[in-house]
Amino acid sequence: MAIVRWESMDFARQASAAFFLVTATLLLQCAGMSVLIHWARARLATGIKGLGPVRSAVLMVRFTTLIIVLHILQILLWAGVYRWLCLPSWEACFYFSSASYSTVGYGDVVLPRIWRLLGPVEGITGVLMCGLSVSCLFVIATRIVESEPGSDKGKL
């Protein structure tokens, strides 16, 4: 009976930490994307027509770089919790977090048993956050293509 209680306490701690991390990750992603969307709207509203291929590419590189920085911040959030709860060094925490977030998951660094469910939760969260980012970049790229002189909005 004592083992069942101990395991349910472990699960409750993992679930609480996972809930906090997923919520904080979503808040960070939504705030970052909100800033990016605001910046994109301002940039697109100031006359994106006639940017040309080089300036359009530079604009997309800027947006993509901001998205990558946003994901690195999210990885650092998870790494900070790993450092606080279960792993001995920042290098191991960042490595494990980035491998989990990106779903690479090498397995050479593992979480202690009582925290092992956080890795898969981070992987699922990372996939969803990357999907949101890609959809945002796709919309921005579509707007750039639509604003090109002579472009047909119905054709790519």
Structure confidence by residue, pLDDT tens digits, 133-149: 999 999 888 887 777 66
The answer to whether 101 and 108 are in contact (CB under 8 A) is: no
**Which pLDDT score, from 0 to 100, does residue 3 have?**
54
**Mean pLDDT of all residues in the chain?**
87
Distances (CA, A) of 119 to 35, 72, 87, 110: 28, 16, 13, 9
Identity (one letter) of the amino acid at 38?
A: H
Q: Which residue has the tokens 């920042």?
A: 90
Better pLDDT: 153 or 53 = 53
Going by C-beta distance under 8 Å and a sequence separation of 6 or more, which residues neighbour residue 59?
A: 43, 48, 51, 144
HSE-up (13 A, CA, CB side) for residue 83:
13
Structure confidence by residue, pLDDT tens digits, 13-27: 999 999 999 999 999
In the predicted structure, residue 110 carries a pLDDT above the cut 80: yes
